[in-house]
Amino acid sequence: MPTESFDRLNNINYRGLWLSCRAQLRNMLRQKALSEEAKERGSIVNIASQLGIVGRPGAAAYCASKAAIINMTRSNAIDYSDDGIRVNCVCPGVIETPMTTTSPEMVKALKPAIDIAPMKRMGTPDEVADAVLFLCSPQASFIQGHALVVDGGYTIN
């Protein structure tokens, strides 16, 4: 992989998310608690990938950039817990989007990853959104620093 490609990938996947988190945290630290009893100021849910949990041949830089997001999530969860900010992330698997379904070549290339997962299908954007909404909700009020995998079981194989 050329250095320029490595830098581009990390600028998008890791640095971009780091910059977004930094901005969100600055705003959340300035705001009052959402409720008196909970002292909660907000919840951040980062998007990583199943490939931040497991490796894949030929994808070392991508996998490392997503693993960095998971560990940044955990570190921020520790650093900002006393401030009433929860920080978690979702690790999607192969999701049915225009990027993954538009070209027959891409569908063919993703087939082995889909077949590894016990559910043997692509996930939907709504399934990822539901996980994000759960982590933002009061039902997840005691979840901190977690990487919730939404991958149809890919990472258990």
State pLDDT tens for residues 117-126.
999 999 999 9
CA atoms within 13 A on the CB side of 18: 14
Residue 46, SS3? strand
Q: How confident is the model at residue 81 (pLDDT cuts 50, 70, 90)?
A: very high
Quick one: CA dihedral 51, 49, 157, 76, positive or negative? positive
Buried b (16+ CB within 10 A) or exposed e, 56-78: eeeeebbbbbbbbbbebbbebbe
pTM of the model: 0.92
Instruction: Indicate the CATH number of 3-156 among 3.40.50.1100, 3.40.50.720, 3.90.1640.30, 3.40.50.1980.
Output: 3.40.50.720
As annotated, the active-site residues are 62
pLDDT at 157: 85
